[in-house]
Amino acid sequence: MPPEAPESGAGSALGAARALCTRLGAWLRDAALPLWSQHGYDRARGGFEERLTATGAVTTDARRARVQVRQVYVFANAATLGWRGDPLPLVRDGLEHFLRHYRRSDGLFRTLCAADGTALDERAFLYDQAFVLLALAESQRVLGRAPALIGEAEGLLAVIRRLLKRAGPGFDSGLPARLPLLANPHMHLLEAALAWRELGSSAAWRELVDEVVALALARLIDAESGALTERFTADWQPLPGLEGRLVEPGHLFEWAWLLQRCGDAAAHTAAVRLIGIAEQHGVRKGVAINALLSDFSVHDAEARLWPQTERLKANARLAITRPQCWSSVVEAGETLLRYLAPVPGLWYDRLTVAGTFVCEPAPASTLYHIVAACLELQSALTTAATPLNPPR
């Protein structure tokens, strides 16, 4: 567990955050990771399952590329969260299965395969490629600093630049290329680039970080309102109509978490503003809702689980230098605990406007969000003992 930080005016919230870290860590260590390691991987055919119920996997599901590599991320970080199982077979075999079945002839990765590895959808999305890059970086926590993994990542980045890079800023959202341009895949591309930069890898990753941050500050974030929208025209203007006005509080928090990690003063300022907007307009009764419009009116008041984890992450990182944010960390974490289902290791994904959870199989894709939130909370509590200075 993280060492105790000095108490201050936010001491009670900091103490509550420590307790929250203990509860979430125990749930992951003793319930979720054992369950998903046992029932969430198909040992007969290889690959991770898409969804679990109280009685096991939903075996009829096709398998998305993003789920395969997100689960590699999960088990690559499991030991850091105190899991006592063996992550090596899951990381090694899961990654090997993915690279064998999902790679296209052009070097990008297809988006969907059947459980037996048969290709079902040949489209290649930037979103999926970003998670492949992230999984390749994080898998080295278990597999070691591996030249083969570094080569895979650098090769994929080169293919992304060759096939998806636009003449101007940013990347196409996939192949075949089509509009609108999307903010969300760029966010995860930044996440992957930061993971590789933090490993001390080649300058190509530092350049990618700078490139995506510049796009976010200049095109994705509205200079006047400070908000970030999701869908854009070919020249990076918000898409006309409703689609161009959508603002997702979860993504405001998630971008803010990433921008804080960049070490850039302008990015940090934008991150703080994104958190303020999301807290003021995107949180209702302690719950981060799905969507606003660009005037900050509510568009979708339902609430999936993942925005709660992004709220926790963004505030935990900011709380290192702004202790008043620990209260938001605690509220986000307590809300997250409400989503954890009575079946140990499973969760509800959707909360309705009426305040009831939708009973359905737990999607594997969500575990990445929960693990990332717990890792950030654990790290922030450790760092809080020796606060960082904000970027200059």
Condensed to tens digits (0 to 9), the pLDDT of residues 49-84 reads: 999 999 999 989 999 999 999 999 999 999 999 999
- Is pLDDT of 282 > 60? yes
User: If you search the block for the tokens 């994929």, which residue do you land on?
Assistant: 156
Asked if residue 158 belongs to a domain, the reply is: no
Order of strands across the sheet that contains 51-53: 56-57, 51-53, 362-363
> In angstroms, rounded to a whole number, what is the distance separating the alpha carbons of residues 192 and 194?
5
- As a whole number, mean pLDDT of residues 332-336 equals 98
Q: What is the pLDDT of residues 291-325, one digit of tens each?
A: 999 999 999 999 999 999 999 999 999 999 999 99
CA atoms within 13 A on the CB side of 74: 28
Indicate whether 47 belongs to any domain: no
Assess if residue 301 is contained within a domain: yes
Residue holding tokens 């620990």?
Answer: 326
Residues 124-174 pLDDT 10s: 999 999 999 999 999 999 999 989 999 999 999 999 999 999 999 999 999
Does 66 fall in a domain?
no
Q: Is 292 exposed, middle or buried (0-12, 13-18, 19+ CB in 10 A)?
A: buried
pLDDT of residue 11: 73
Q: What is the pLDDT of residue 5?
A: 44
Host domain of residue 232: 10-39+221-387
Predicted confidence at residue 127, as pLDDT, reads: 98
The burial of 44, by beta-carbon neighbours within 10 Å (0-12 exposed, 13-18 middle, 19 or more buried), is given as exposed
CATH of the domain at 315: 1.50.10.10
DSSP conformation class of 85: S
- Rounded CA gap, 342 and 209, in Å? 40
Residue 1's pLDDT band (cuts 50, 70, 90): very low
Domain total of the chain: 1
Per the CB < 8 A criterion, the answer to whether 121 and 110 are in contact is: yes
Please indicate, yes or no, if residue 233 is contained in any of the structural domains: yes
Domain membership of residue 49 (yes or no) is: no
β-bridge partners, 247:
292
Query: Looking at the domain assignment, is residue 211 inside a domain?
Result: no
pLDDT of residue 98: 98
Supply the pLDDT for residue 332.
98
Task: Classify residue 290: in a domain, yes or no.
Answer: yes
pLDDT classification of 201: cutoffs 50, 70, 90: confident
- In 3D space, the residue among 332, 233, 328, 226 whose CA is nearest the CA of residue 287 turns out to be 332
Say what the pTM is.
Answer: 0.95
> To the nearest whole number, what is the mean pLDDT of the chain?
95
Nearest to 343 by CA among 355, 360, 368: 360
- Residue 153: CB partners within 8 Å, gap ≥ 6? 133, 136, 137, 196
Mean pLDDT score, 324-348: 97
pLDDT (tens digit per residue) in 244-270 = 999 999 999 999 999 999 999 999 999
Residues 6 or more apart in contact with residue 347 via CB below 8 angstroms: 305, 339, 340, 341, 362, 366, 370
Residues sharing a CB contact under 8 Å with residue 90, sequence separation 6 or more, in sequence order: 37, 41, 71, 72, 75
pLDDT band at 2 (very low <50, low <70, confident <90, very high): very low
98 neighbors 165 (Cβ within 8 angstroms): no
C-alpha span between 346 and 166 (Å, rounded): 41
